[in-house]
């Protein structure tokens, strides 16, 4: 082991992703211990590290090249000892000079004084704050003013590496002088605001010219809107405030569980973006066909779209999802790069209320775009005829069907002939049986098969249907389905 080239040792270490494996490897030899310490650039600190301030000194002494540190006390109780406090951030800033990415989650002992120490991290580019009840807008303003790299450095890669600020569940943050400062003097490429009750849509007007630099933006609440009214303390009835912003470089947009109105609020982003590649719209009241048509016409490089829709009151006393086949037609006509589509319908039953899309519209979209990844949830309009169209989709590689009650074994039989399908997930599809899955056992094409809570499919029936099979019959699965509908499939993994 001692004779191996250092480059080879480094390559071995980089292939071990888990912390436990890296810790075990470092015990093999002194040389591996040294090399592993030099290469380790990320650590996660949770409830089991106590006293945390003393431990930080030791960790930073061993891992001298740390660039990313996460503190998470989501499961913390008094039995775990003390959390990271303001003094801990001061110590970290003294012994971790290369830090570029910091996450603070459920740190109830961090307040504005602690945020003031973040200015000591001269290279800090990405900051995530989740559930810090003691911080206020004053603390965020000190971050905006003091963290020069967060404002000045610009990296194009928006996968968490560019200048970024994530603000989640910080309920005492109200005034937005910090946002105005970043808009004027900063260079943020990524801004995420989640479940901050005192920050409304119109507050984001204060970001000003900062919109021109953003490449990723997320704004979401955790509760479904319960009335057709703009939320947030900044909303004033009959307001003349309008979004006169430019967001030509925005590539990734997520809006979730909010209400928008014509010409007011974040609705304008759907008509102003010209470079979007990824779009997620989750239960946004007030989005209509003309918004999606304009967006599709302006964004020829759109690659991914995720829509979660629930019935709303439309013109003529109709109660249905507001988007119709007109939106699908626009996507099919003007988005030739579209590869990933997720459509989930919550609160729509087979008889009433209605889904605005039709099966013909979905089939037309599938046949017009090179879709490789398709997810349909609660799509009671999709039946075996739709499955025939999927079986002819040349590019379709991954398919997820969740609570699609109109699909039967006949649909699975034709789907098994799909030319490119290698990954299939079925959840809460109680119209399917072992007979339908048996066709995939005979075809031997699937690499991955996931069966969750399909009451008529047995463990025996899925054996041999794919190289990798995941099966669970935990029932009932409706609660999980509702949570997935309300909060989306992408949430929960970020933190």
3-state secondary structure 140-187: HHHHHHHCHHHHHCCCCCCCCCCCEEEEECCCCCCCCHHHHHHHHHCC
CATH of the domain at 467: 3.80.10.10
pLDDT at 56: 92
CB 46 within 8 A of CB 81: no
Kindly state whether residue 112 falls inside one of the protein's structural domains: no
Q: What are the tens digits of pLDDT across the range 327-358? A: 999 999 999 999 999 999 998 888 777 899 99
Residue 191 and residue 225 in contact, taking contact as beta carbons nearer than 8 Å: no
Q: Diameter of the chain by CA atoms?
A: 79
The size of the chain, in residues, is 495
- Predicted confidence at residue 1, as pLDDT, reads 66
> Is residue 19 in a domain?
yes
The reported pLDDT for the residue numbered 493 is 32
**Residue carrying structure tokens 């991290």:** 121
pLDDT digits (tens, 9 = 90+) for 16-40: 777 777 777 777 777 777 877 888 8
CATH number at residue 20: 1.20.1280
- 203 located within any domain: no
Residue 295, domain member (yes or no):
no
Exposed, middle or buried by CB within 10 Å (0-12, 13-18, 19+), for 491? middle
Q: How many domains does the chain have?
A: 2
Give the strand pairing for 312-314 and 318-320: antiparallel
Asked, for residue 246, whether it belongs to a domain, the answer is no
> pLDDT of the chain along its 495 residues, tens only?
667 787 787 777 777 777 777 777 777 777 777 877 888 888 999 887 888 889 999 999 988 899 999 999 988 888 888 899 999 999 999 999 899 999 999 899 999 999 999 999 989 999 999 888 888 889 989 988 998 888 532 222 223 445 667 777 777 777 788 889 988 888 888 998 888 877 888 888 888 899 999 999 998 887 766 544 444 444 444 454 566 788 999 999 999 988 887 666 788 888 889 999 999 999 998 899 999 999 999 999 999 999 999 998 887 778 899 999 999 999 999 999 999 999 999 988 887 778 999 999 999 999 999 999 999 999 999 999 999 999 999 999 999 999 999 999 999 999 999 999 999 999 999 999 999 999 999 999 999 999 998 999 999 999 999 999 999 987 655 666 677 676 655 443 332
Is-contact 442 466, C-beta < 8 A? Answer: no
Contacts of 386 (CB under 8 A, 6+ apart): 359, 362, 363, 407, 411
Q: How far is CA 433 from CA 363, 425, 426, 460, 493, in A?
A: 24, 14, 11, 11, 31
**pLDDT for 132-156, tens place per residue?**
888 888 998 998 899 888 853 222 2
For the chain, the 3-state helix, strand and coil shares in percent, each to the nearest 5, are 35, 20, 45
Q: Residue 450 falls within a domain, yes or no?
A: yes
Residue 321 burial (CB count, 10 A)? 23
pLDDT of residue 153: 29
47: Cβ contacts below 8 Å, ≥ 6 apart? 73, 75, 76, 77, 80
- Let me know if residue 157 belongs to a domain: no
CA distance 141 to 146: 8
Q: Which of 331, 333, 209 is nearest to 276 (CA)?
A: 331
Site of tokens 């009151």: 313
In angstroms, the CA 399 to CA 342 distance is 10
464/286 Cα distance (integer angstroms) = 47
Query: Which range marks the domain in which residue 15 is found?
Result: 1-40
- For residue 389, being part of any structural domain is answered with yes
């Amino acid at each position: 082991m001692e004779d191996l080239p250092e480059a080879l040792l480094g390559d071995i270490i980089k292939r071990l992703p888990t912390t436990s494996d890296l810790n075990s490897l470092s015990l093999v030899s002194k040389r591996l211990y040294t090399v592993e310490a030099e290469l380790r650039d990320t650590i996660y600190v949770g409830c089991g590290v106590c006293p945390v301030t003393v431990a930080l000194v030791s960790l930073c002494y061993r891992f001298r090249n740390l660039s990313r540190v996460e503190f998470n006390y989501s499961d913390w109780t008094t039995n775990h000892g003390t959390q990271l406090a303001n003094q801990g951030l001061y110590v970290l800033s003294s012994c971790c000079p290369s830090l570029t990415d910091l996450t603070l989650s459920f740190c109830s002992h961090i307040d504005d004084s602690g945020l003031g120490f973040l200015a000591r991290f001269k290279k800090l580019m990405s900051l995530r704050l989740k559930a810090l009840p003691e911080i206020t807008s004053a603390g965020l303003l000190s971050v905006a003013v003091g963290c020069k790299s967060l404002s000045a450095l610009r990296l194009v890669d928006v996968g968490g590496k560019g200048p970024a600020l994530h603000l989640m569940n910080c309920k005492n943050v109200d005034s937005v002088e910090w946002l105005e400062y970043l808009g004027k003097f900063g260079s943020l490429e990524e801004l995420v605001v989640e479940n901050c009750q005192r920050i409304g849509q119109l507050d984001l007007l204060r970001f000003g010219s900062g919109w021109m630099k953003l490449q990723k933006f997320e704004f979401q609440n955790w509760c479904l809107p319960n009335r057709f009214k703009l939320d947030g303390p900044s909303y004033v009835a009959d307001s003349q405030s309008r979004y006169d912003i430019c967001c030509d470089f925005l590539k990734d947009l997520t809006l979730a569980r909010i209400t928008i109105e014509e010409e007011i609020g974040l609705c304008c982003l759907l008509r102003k973006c010209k470079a979007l590649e990824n779009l997620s719209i989750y239960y946004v009241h007030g989005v209509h066909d003309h918004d999606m048509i304009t967006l599709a016409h302006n964004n020829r490089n759109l690659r991914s779209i995720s829509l979660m829709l629930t019935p709303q009151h439309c013109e003529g006393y109709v109660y249905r999802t507001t988007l119709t086949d007109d939106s699908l037609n626009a996507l099919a006509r003007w988005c030739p790069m579209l590869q990933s589509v997720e459509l989930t319908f919550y609160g729509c039953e087979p008889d009433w209320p209605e889904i605005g899309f039709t099966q013909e519209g979905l089939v037309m979209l599938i046949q017009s775009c090179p879709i490789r990844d398709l997810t349909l949830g609660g799509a009671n309009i999709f039946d075996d005829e739709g499955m025939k169209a999927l079986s002819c989709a040349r590019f379709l590689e991954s398919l997820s069907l969740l609570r699609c009650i109109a699909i039967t074994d006949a649909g699975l039989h034709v789907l098994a002939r799909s030319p490119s399908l290698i990954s299939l997930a079925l959840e809460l599809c109680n119209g399917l049986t072992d007979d339908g899955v048996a066709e995939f056992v005979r075809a031997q094409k699937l690499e991955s098969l996931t069966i969750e809570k399909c009451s008529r499919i047995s463990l025996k029936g899925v054996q041999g249907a794919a190289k990798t099979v995941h099966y669970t019959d935990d029932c009932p699965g409706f609660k999980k389905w509702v949570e997935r509908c309300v909060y989306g499939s992408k949430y929960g993994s970020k933190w």
